Amino acid sequence: MPTTSNTFRLQAALKIHHRIMSGSYPNATALGKELGVTAKTARKYFELLADVFGVNPIYDQYEHGYHYENVSRASLVPRLREDEVAAVFLVEQAARSLAGSPVQKVLESVLGKLALMIPAGCSVTLDQLSDALSLRLERASSVSDHDRQTLNTLYAALMQKRRVSIVYTGRYRDEPTQRKIDPIHLTRCEGQWYLVAYCHLRKHIRTFVPARMQSVRILNETFERPAGFDPQEHFRSAFGIVTGCNVSALALRFDAEVAGLIRERQWHATQTLEELPGDEVRLRMTCSQSNELVAWLLSWGEHVVVEAPVELGREVAQAHRSAAAKQTSGRGGVV
C-alpha cells in the first residue's frame, strides 16, 4: 500500500496511538523506522491524531518520547472537519443512485457512521449542501425485485469466485440460452447494470445485462480471476459500455455551432482536440464503433462530419437517409 494513501496514513496513526497508550514513550525516529518512513513523515502522523481523532500526544523531554496527559480521554473517536462534511453528502447521493444494488445497505451503514462523526454545532448542514450542490450521476432508473435478487446473487458469486449458471436472452436473440459464466466485474453505466464475465459457451470474456437473465444460480465450482484484468483498461476502448468492437482511430469535425459544446467535455479517455479555421474543432479518439457511438453521432445531425474511418461515415450517412425517408413518407408523423 502506498505510504501516501489516506488508508496507510490512518493505519499508521492508529499504530502510533497504540504505542503511546502502551506507555513506552515512542519517538518519531523509532516509529519512522518501524513504519518504513522518515521521522519527518512520522511526525505528520502524530498530527493526524489531533486532526482526525482530537487527541494530542505530548512530547516528554526526559523520556524522549510521546505520551498522553490524560490516558482515560485518549479514545479514538473520529471526527470530521466542517469542510469534510461534504463527504457525508456525497455518500448519501451515492447510496441513492445505487438503490437496489448489493452495496446499498453497506453505503447506508457507512452514511450512518459518518453522520455520527459530524461535530456538534457544525455550521455546515446536509440541507445546506443539498441546496448548494447536486450530483446527477446518471438517468434515474428503478430496480425490480427480480433484478435486485439477480444483482445480489452475482455480487455474492463475484466475492466468492464461484461460477454461475444463467438462462440468458441476448439483445438480438428471441430464444434464451443456458450458459455457464465466471463473473469478473459488475459495473453501472447510464442507469443500467452490466456484468463482465467469461462465457464458457462462447469461450471469451463477454458483457452481459443482468436484467436479461431469466435465472441465476451459483454453482459449487470456483474459478480464478483472469490475471491482470483491469476494469479501467477493459473499458478504455468503449464509447459507453461496448468494448472491443472494431476499435479504430476516429476523426470527427464539428462545426462552429456546436464546437463550444465539444470543447467543454471529456467525451473519451483517448480524445484530443484540434482547432480548425472558422471556429470548428476536430475531435480524435480511439474507440469501439458500436451502436452507442453511431447513435451519439446521429444526435449531432448536420453539425458533425465523420472524416475517418470512411466506413463509419457511410454508416452514419445511410442512417440519416433512412430516417429522412421515413419522415418524408409519412411514417414518422403522429396521427
pLDDT tens-digit series, residues 228-247:
899 989 999 999 898 888 89
Answer yes or no: is pLDDT of 75 > 60: no
User: Can you give the pLDDT at residue 69?
Assistant: 78
pLDDT tier for residue 86 given thresholds of 50, 70 and 90: confident
User: Can you give the pLDDT at residue 283?
Assistant: 97
Report domain extents, the chain: 6-73, 82-132, 161-227, 248-328
Answer yes or no: is pLDDT of 2 > 60: no
Report how far residue 163's alpha carbon sits from residue 199's, in angstroms, rounded to the nearest whole number: 10
pLDDT tier for residue 203 given thresholds of 50, 70 and 90: very high
Report how far residue 56's alpha carbon sits from residue 68's, in angstroms, rounded to the nearest whole number: 7
CATH of domain 6-73: 1.10.10.10
Answer yes or no: is pLDDT of 332 > 60: no
User: What is the SS3 assignment for 8?
Assistant: helix
- The topology (CATH level 3) of 248-328 is Alpha-Beta Plaits (3.30.70)
Q: Which residue has the cell 471526527?
A: 79
Q: Which of 250, 239, 260 is nearest to 311 (CA)?
A: 250
pTM for this model (two decimals)? 0.68
pLDDT tens for 182-197 read: 999 999 888 889 999 9
With beta carbons less than 8 A apart as the criterion, state whether 206 and 199 touch. yes
Average pLDDT, the chain: 85
CATH of domain 161-227: 2.30.30
Type and span of the H or E element at 10: helix 6-21
Helices 6-21, 28-35: axis angle to 10 degrees equals 130
